[in-house]
Structure 1
Amino acid sequence: MMLTNLLTTAAGLPSAAARPVLASPRGSSIRIPLPVAERTLSPVEALLLAAFRWQTQQQTGCKSDEPGFAGMLEELREYQRGHSVQEQAAASGNIMEALSGPFPPVFKRFAAQPWAPSSLSYCTTLILGFLVGEMTLTEREAGDSRGGGVLVQKCAVLEHSGCSGLCVHMCKLPTERMFAEKWGMPLRMQPNFETCECQLSFGVSPPPLKQDTTLPTGCIGSCPLAQSHPLPQAAAAPLAVSNLEVFLNRDR
């Protein structure tokens, strides 16, 4: 009965996070504090992480000797360094599609049902903790009291990588695209680069990338690439272009 109520009404759910408002549109003004330590995973989460890493290695050809979550980030960074943003998004989409198994076409038949967004948000909190950390079910989005929202309290990938490109091109954009195309469910992801929160809103279509004012331009200040190869302000990369690509091609 409790699950049925959860999937049909948002009564009692916390409000969704408000749309992030950046103090400055330039990513260089944002600095994410270094995390103290990796989160301890449960046995089930460790198994899910191992499956995710194996699929990542198959799709990218990158393999790190570093164990656990840190090794996964190394593999993603290695692939990110040598590939275009289109290739990054494609690889990420292939990873998610492979791990989704037969579920997307089955769910797609029911995607128009009123309970569908809430069911996906509920499953997300059960499955995705190994990758992003603690989550809370919320209303669908700010101003919409229906169910279907998930607040990632502090995204582990963003916090540990300090990289907006990894967040946007290998998580946000391919995930939104996959759910729309494969699951038949629009999804809006709103990462907050200043707090590392991320509001997921199932059943809500995202705006075009160029119109999304919640995303900074260029590398964020705590990005390892920005720190090792700082770019002049005039050459700050637009979000749709890899900052690494700009650095490598700056003299061409």
Structure 2
Amino acid sequence: MALLNHRPLLSIPSLHSPRLKPSARVSCFSARSNSVDAVELKSSRKEYVPGVVDDIFMNVFRSKMVEETGWDSEKPGYDGLIDAAHRLMVGRSNSEATKASVRILRSLFPPLLLDLYKMLISPIAGGKVAAEMVARVTAISCQWLMGTCTVNSVDLPNGSSWSSGVFVEKCKYLEESKCVGVCINTCKLPTQTFFNEYMGVPLVMEPNFSDYSCQFKFGVSPPRPEDDSALREPCLHICPTANRRKEVNAAMDVSRCPKA
């Protein structure tokens, strides 16, 4: 999930130092052209170490999840957060889980702030200013949740390019949840909805379920559900539920995550 904070953006230029070749980052669904790209991607990954401020963000976010579900895990730290994310899926349809996650995101911001951003910032320069701004704040403030992030350029449908992308090298949230459905219904879809409807910034998120990377594209509208390949993904090979299902019935079809 993408969270924002309001720290000054004076140190933002450092985010432009490329870690990956642009061709390897713009689309996380694009195939790697050769083994060199794969080696560069693997070697660039450095685990993000959360600080005190990150712990505050996590605790606030977790408290909002607890308010929504009325349940909290006994596990401390990030493990408890992941338990809470799974709890969001219990007793809810996929669409209900998505709506609940949108409510959690909205609860993190004063309503007036969201309204003012959508009204005053989002229209500037055809949306470019708002898209590039939220990309930088997301990369700064959300590494505790997703891991190492970098700002990169994305191609828009009109042929132009904006520095409004955020590349997550290996999403901790996806890897720790071990579930395509949790990724789709508590992160991808609600985050896209939140930015588009409540901040006036179109967003498409492209998770790669093979290497757990993810490409955020602010300023780009998401595809229709029937055209979104992420919604047709099979269960992850690390999914314990899928593995148990296969143990019970070897012929059982796990070609699509039942939670997605």
TM-score tier after normalising by the smaller chain length: 0.7 to 0.9
Asked whether the equivalents of residues 19 and 214 of structure 1 are also in contact (C-alpha less than 8 Å), the reply is: no
Report the CA distance between 1:12 and its aligned residue.
7.2
Match of 1:76 in 2: 85
Match of 2:60 in 1: 51
Match of 1:185 in 2: 201
Cα RMSD over matched residues? 2.9
Match of 1:150 in 2: 166
Match of 1:28 in 2: none
Q: TM-score, normalised by structure 2?
A: 0.76
Structure 2: how far apart are the matches of 1:199 and 1:54? Answer: 27
Asked whether the equivalents of residues 131 and 156 of structure 1 are also in contact (C-alpha less than 8 Å), the reply is: yes
Identity, % of aligned positions: 30
Structural mapping, 1:220-239, within 5 Å: 220-230=236-246, 235-236=253-254, 238=256
Mark the runs of 5 or more structure 1 residues left unpaired by the alignment. 23-37, 244-252
Match of 1:139 in 2: 153
Report the CA distance between 1:53 and its aligned residue.
0.6
Aligned residues: 224
Q: Residue type matched to 2:99 in 1?
A: A
3-state DSSP of counterpart to 2:108? helix
Q: Cα gap change, 1:242/1:5 in structure 2, threshold over 3 Å: closer, same or farther?
A: closer
3-state DSSP of counterpart to 1:229? helix
Q: Cα gap change, 1:151/1:141 in structure 2, threshold over 3 Å: closer, same or farther?
A: farther
Report the CA distance between 1:138 and its aligned residue.
0.3
Q: Cα gap change, 1:107/1:210 in structure 2, threshold over 3 Å: closer, same or farther?
A: same
Structure 1: how far apart are the matches of 2:230 and 2:85? Answer: 24
Mark the runs of 5 or more structure 2 residues left unpaired by the alignment. 1-8, 32-46
Asked whether the equivalents of residues 93 and 174 of structure 1 are also in contact (C-alpha less than 8 Å), the reply is: yes
Structure 2: how far apart are the matches of 1:228 and 1:216? Answer: 21
CA shift digits 1:43-77 (9 cap, x unpaired): 00001000001011001112011000000101121
Asked whether the equivalents of residues 92 and 170 of structure 1 are also in contact (C-alpha less than 8 Å), the reply is: yes
Q: Cα gap change, 1:154/1:4 in structure 2, threshold over 3 Å: closer, same or farther?
A: closer
Match of 1:104 in 2: 114
Q: Residue type matched to 1:74 in 2?
A: D
Structure 2: how far apart are the matches of 1:229 and 1:93? Answer: 30
Q: TM-score, normalised by structure 1?
A: 0.78
Q: Residue type matched to 1:112 in 2?
A: P
Structure 2: how far apart are the matches of 1:47 and 1:132? Answer: 15
CA shift digits 1:172-197 (9 cap, x unpaired): 01110111111111001000111111
Q: Residue type matched to 2:63 in 1?
A: W
